[in-house]
Amino acid sequence: DFFIEANATANAFAVTLMPASSTTGRLFCFKRTNGGANNVTISVDGTTADTIDGAGTYVLAAQYDKVILFSTGSTYYILALS
């Protein structure tokens, strides 16, 4: 399982998830630590049909926003968020 501290103070922060088929059963925890205008964007691999609860991206837009994603092997589900 993975924890990613995302600090977008200087620039926008982008993460591309690995294909869900290669991360079955894994949890991914993301937390944005900065304030300001730069967002943290989490995206799925564009070469697959994976989604994050049906969407291609998930954005952490405010300081201390967080999300926990779970890979089923064919998609990512949001288990918890702020």
Q: What span, in angstroms and rounded, lies between the C-alpha atoms of 53 and 57? A: 9
**Rounded to 5 degrees, what are φ and ψ at 47?**
-90, 5
Nearest to 58 by CA among 19, 2, 21, 13: 13
SS3 44: coil
- pLDDT truncated to tens, each residue of the chain (82 aa)? 799 999 999 999 999 999 999 999 999 999 999 999 999 999 999 889 999 999 999 999 999 999 999 999 999 999 987 7
CB 50 within 8 A of CB 20: yes
Instruction: Provide the pLDDT for residue 1.
Output: 74
pTM for the structure as a whole: 0.92
